[in-house]
Structure 1
Amino acid sequence: MSWLPSAMAGEHREVRMTYTICIWPYGLWDVVSVLVDYEGYCFQDPLRPLRESVEVGTMVLVLAIGDLHIPHRAPDLPAKFKSMLVPGKIQHIICTGNLCIKEVHDYLKSLCPSLHITRGEYDEDSRYPETKTITIGQFKLGLCHGHQVVPWGDLDSLAMLQRQLDVDILVTGHTHQFKAYKHEAGVVINPGSATGAYSSITYDVNPSFVLMDIDGLRVVVYVYELIDGEVKVDKIDFKKTSTATI
């Protein structure tokens, strides 16, 4: 099974947010200063949700989030992120861990009942598994916090974990730095730290999370990053090239 990235990470598309925060695709919120085109659709009306007239079909939205470290390294999620993340808009949440307290678990559960969490080294709840696999549509996803992977964030070590879990997409954390890339036979995604908490690697961390749009053999990865008080959005598009059994 192989993958083809149809948009490389360097081809950034940016939305600078004003007034009300917009979380896209599909216009979960609807007021922005600039709307970019998406699959050939370009909307100039800032009050019109993205792709509001397009049939959603089998699309599934998956929030990937982690390394919040509340309250030890951050008091809460950024207010702009909290205003974007509302109940009823997301079908699944996958969390890499380090929530670190029950209140954060309950908050994520209030956004979406389908919540999947792996244990970070600072999580109070020892019941979280070290790794977890779930199937969403045509994709098998693997989840692991990442502190178990040595060296931390190493491409070859993560590829080995991906093979062990036998997954198409590996979601991992611990480095507090967003990454999304094709490697060997699959895709690796690190949503970063949703609160911008410092890590043992760096103190310079921008808050970020990832929204995955899974539709058929395609997954579109949107990274939301808070930089200098503004939410910036980048898009990376990956496709499977076969329908082999997962």
Structure 2
Amino acid sequence: MNSFKIGVISDTHVPDRSPEISAAFLSSLCAEKVDLILHAGDISVPQVLSLLETIAPVKAVRGNRDFLFVGKIPMVQQFEVFGVNFALMHGHMNLFIYWLDKLQHVFSGYDRQRYIRRLPKAAPEAKVIVFGHTHHAENFWQNDILYFNPGSITYGDTLTRQRTWGLIEVFENGQVDGKIVSCG
């Protein structure tokens, strides 16, 4: 059965939090022979997208730190693979929600339910919601929606500093499999 492989990254923060994207990650991504790369925001500089485009076509959205991309790439992208509706977004939504989320995080820590309540409103028809922002890798189904956050390949989860990326495979019959991959 034919499949479509998607490499998923977010929160690269090059060069503000990391000087570069590691050669080990790029080698790992190339080895997967992905058909598409998704970047869920906080790209920081255009050179990151240019580098990724040497591997596969790229779809990207703007994150809360992507000042250089205002007016150039969208906040949300929707597309379809083998009849499966995808939504790609960073997850911070807007400035008000961003600061509200920061405040909630300070008092109660990370809570995936905040994203489950919020993200489908931006793309109600999506069966796969790819997001970033938290640096916290997520790969779970709820209410027939796959919520997929690849974490960060450069900065890592805020608690564990584990650097991760993701791989989503979509099959002709509409089956979707997601996997979080460690950068080591």
On whether the aligned pair clears a TM of 0.5, the verdict is yes
| Unmatched tracts of structure 1, length 5 or more | 1-56, 228-246
Larger relative contact order, structure 1 or 2 (CA cutoff 8 Å, min sep 6): 2
Q: Does 1:80 align with 2:80?
A: no
Q: Residues 159 and 184 of structure 1 are in contact (CA less than 8 Å); yes or no, is this contact kept in structure 2?
A: no
Q: 1:87 to 1:136 in 2, by over 3 A?
A: same
Q: Give 4+ residue runs of structure 1 displaced > 6 Å after superposition.
A: none
| Unmatched tracts of structure 2, length 5 or more | 103-110
Separation of aligned partners in 2, 1:186 and 1:158: 10
**Could you state the TM-score of these two structures normalised by the residue count of structure 2?**
0.81
* Equivalent residue runs for 1:46-195 within 5 Å: 57-86=1-30, 89-113=33-57, 115-123=58-66, 124-126=68-70, 127-148=72-93, 151=101, 154-165=112-123, 166-195=125-154
Structure having the higher Rg: 1
Q: Residues 67 and 195 of structure 1 are in contact (CA less than 8 Å); yes or no, is this contact kept in structure 2?
A: yes
**Could you state the TM-score of these two structures normalised by the residue count of structure 1?**
0.62
Separation of aligned partners in 1, 2:156 and 2:141: 26
Q: Report % sequence identity.
A: 23
Separation of aligned partners in 1, 2:77 and 2:160: 29
Separation of aligned partners in 1, 2:30 and 2:148: 23
Q: Residues 87 and 112 of structure 1 are in contact (CA less than 8 Å); yes or no, is this contact kept in structure 2?
A: no
- Please identify which structure carries the higher helix content: 2
Q: 1:163 to 1:173 in 2, by over 3 A?
A: same
Separation of aligned partners in 2, 1:88 and 1:183: 27
Residue aligned with 2:52, SS:
helix
Q: Does 1:225 align with 2:182?
A: yes
Query: Size of the alignment, in residue pairs?
Result: 167
Q: Residues 67 and 192 of structure 1 are in contact (CA less than 8 Å); yes or no, is this contact kept in structure 2?
A: yes
Separation of aligned partners in 1, 2:32 and 2:149: 24
